Structure 1
């Protein structure tokens, strides 16, 4: 087992580096962050036999301490994974967030589960993914039936913003460029509105430089081809094999200019398309639309954030 060290989140949080070998850019690691359980809840909480593994979204890392406390207060062991080339796992000279296939993350997730010791201890596993992390965990659970006991998706990126027809039209172009220029540049499409909304709401802390840039990481053809391939697999129908909760904003605001509505809507994804795609990932899917929520529902204004936690708490209570 690896060693645990103090984490940047401070008291109650520790981190462990998970070696994953190397690639053309050098050493590759993932980082597991754990939150110490509440002693009383560990004995009596409804999730005392459950381990939670959280995976972040694009241009992101784990910093949602309130989300960790939600689970530890109910007795769960909570861990979060900074995937390779993100946040705590990003090393100098690496292309931030880049992979050419989403199943590359199998190694990151397996290393995290080994470090957690979930199945060897006979504990239940709840997977929790946000945005791109939600897509990654959906596909991982479908490829590893019987491992996860529950899946919670926070605004999962299950469909391209152009919709199914736009994705199908774009795919051949992206795939062709990915073959010849996988690390080529794309025009900047993130105008920083989502970051602005969170800063105005006061829900985005100041993290280490470069871990969460205001306009996101640069994107590349190889990475976009991997995302589109993941969307196509979801569209064809997959089965994660466990009860699933999908949390979404009630509405989207996707425009080329700032709008005050972005403080209470999803300004990243088209949530109606995501809700439709979510019906194709499991036999039992609960979709909860949160009025006033932003893209990360747990970083919304207080009323919407409370509603998201209430929806999560009610669902967890039913499946515990």
Structure 2
């Protein structure tokens, strides 16, 4: 699907409102807000909140998420570029926001190590800044239910955050959350000490790139996919990975494997099948070529007592970037789930 250009080099309107919001690169209806997070050894650190502000007629919609606020968080080597998802939530009656985490997408600054953290809890600051801007800050009493939506690593990050902040979110929708390592729990447990040693000796040492670009080939219009996005913010073979970052992710996987409670009902969307091969296969256009979905489905049951899993035939790793029939099925699954749960009604 070709959408408005989301290249970081595209011309950006400079007008800024009194409260800091300015037009976003996704075009009419989208605005962004820079959230300062202090500094680290690489300079100023920020997150960026994007909101969708449709016309007045959209605000009168009474759908399955009426009266709710939605916060979406992207995955690894990624950022928010999907206007269709924003329009779905607006049509469902929600106010939609998306967060580009520190050192990703709109928040990535020159000289920074893309996506690098040593603890996924570091993103608590990003999330708190976004929630405060949305009216859901710590200690604030909002009459609007909060729905958290996370993809891949973002799904893992939000699940861990929700388990530490039970009661603040009314629902979680997880889009192929990265809840377990691709080599399974046994592989993770065997690898973790080696990666942990590397994290101590050389935390920023580059690791071998195992991304062969197959997922990009299934998604990007440059290779026969349907989506246009910035190759600078979402590289063909992903960002360089580092031992300290992978150690943080493995720690998150271990926490989920031991069992957590996200404190609210959660829906996990997954492809019906995985295609993990060392060579390109056309089946990768209609399956998850990143995660072992059967293992993720099992891990999703460790997130709490009220968990649903929906398997979408023909879905990619990012279910919302799949071909139109799978996207439609995914959005329909969310609608059915919300109508049965209806947070805040």
Q: TM-score range by the shorter chain?
A: over 0.9
Query: Is the Cα contact below 8 Å between 2:274 and 2:289 reproduced in 1?
Result: yes
C-alpha contact (below 8 Å) 1:38/1:72 kept by paired residues? no
1:103-133 Cα deviation digits (max 9, x unpaired)? 0000000000000113544211000000000
Gaps of 5+ in 1: none
Aligned counterpart for 2:316 among listed residues 288, 294, 300: 294
User: Take 1:120 and 1:15, find their aligned partners in 2: how far apart are those partners?
Assistant: 24
**SS of structure 2 residue aligned to 1:225:** helix
Q: Write the mapping of 1:305-316 to structure 2, written as runs, cut at 5 A.
A: 305-316=327-338
Name the counterpart of 1:198. 219
Distance 1:227 1:2, change over 3 A: farther
Mapping for residues 95-106 of structure 1, pairs under 5 Å: 95-106=113-124
TM-superposed CA distance for 1:38, in Å, is: 4.7
CA distance 1:2–1:24, shift in 2 (3 Å): farther
> 8 Å contact 1:37–1:76 — kept in the other structure?
no
Q: State how far apart, in whole Å, the 1-side matches of 2:92 and 2:271 are.
A: 25
1:34 maps onto 2:88 in alignment: no
Q: What is the TM-score normalised by the length of structure 1?
A: 0.97
How far apart are residue 318 of structure 1 and its match? Answer: 1.7
Structure 2: segments with no counterpart, 5+ residues: 1-17
Counterpart pick for 2:173 among 152, 169, 176? 152
* Residues 149, 175 of structure 2: 8 Å contact kept: yes
Tell me how far 1:303 sits from its aligned partner: 1.2
Q: Kindly report which structure 2 residues correspond to 1:44-55, keeping only aligned pairs within 5 A, or say none.
A: 44-46=61-63, 47-55=65-73
- What are the superposed Cα offsets for residues 49-70 of structure 1, whole Å, 9 maximum, x if unpaired? 2100000000000011111101
Q: Where do residues 224-303 of structure 1 align in structure 2 (5 Å cutoff)?
A: 224-303=246-325
Deviations 1:228-260 (A, max 9, x none): 000000000000010100000000011110001
Q: Is the 8 A contact 2:61 2:91 kept in 1?
A: no
SS in 1 for 2:295: helix
> Is 2:112 aligned against 1:90?
no
What is the number of equivalent residue pairs in this alignment? 319
Matches within 5 A, 1:97-176: 97-118=115-136, 119-176=140-197
Please list the CA deviations of residues 244-300 of structure 1 after superposition, one character each: whole Å capped at 9, or x if unmatched.
000000000111100011001100000001001000001111100001111011111
Are 2:240 and 1:218 equivalent residues in the alignment?
A: yes
What is the rounded CA distance, in whole Å, between the counterparts of 2:67 and 2:98 in structure 1? 17
Structure 1 distance, partners of 2:29, 2:60, is 18
Is 1:2–1:115's contact at 8 Å kept on the other side of the alignment?
A: no
Query: Residue deviations 1:154-184, cap 9 Å, x none?
Result: 0000000000000000011111111121100
RMSD: 1.3
Gap change, CA 1:152 and 1:201, over 3 Å in 2? farther
Whole-angstrom CA distance in 1 between matches of 2:55 and 2:248: 39
Is 1:15 the counterpart of 2:36? The answer is no
Looking at structure 2, the residues matched to 284 and 226 of structure 1 have their Cα atoms a distance apart, in angstroms, of: 26
Question: Is residue 2:207 matched to residue 1:186?
Answer: yes
Query: Is the contact between residue 201 and residue 301 of structure 1 (CA under 8 Å) also seen in structure 2?
Result: no
Contact 1:42 / 1:74 at 8 angstroms: preserved in 2?
Answer: no
SS at match of 1:18: strand
- Whether the 8 Å contact between 2:272 and 2:311 is mirrored in structure 1 is yes
TM-score by length of 2: 0.90
Deviating more after overlay: 197-206 vs 80-89: 197-206
Q: Residues of 2 paired with 1:303 and 1:116: CA distance?
A: 32
Secondary structure at 1:279's aligned position in 2? helix
The residue that corresponds to 2:22 in the other structure is 5
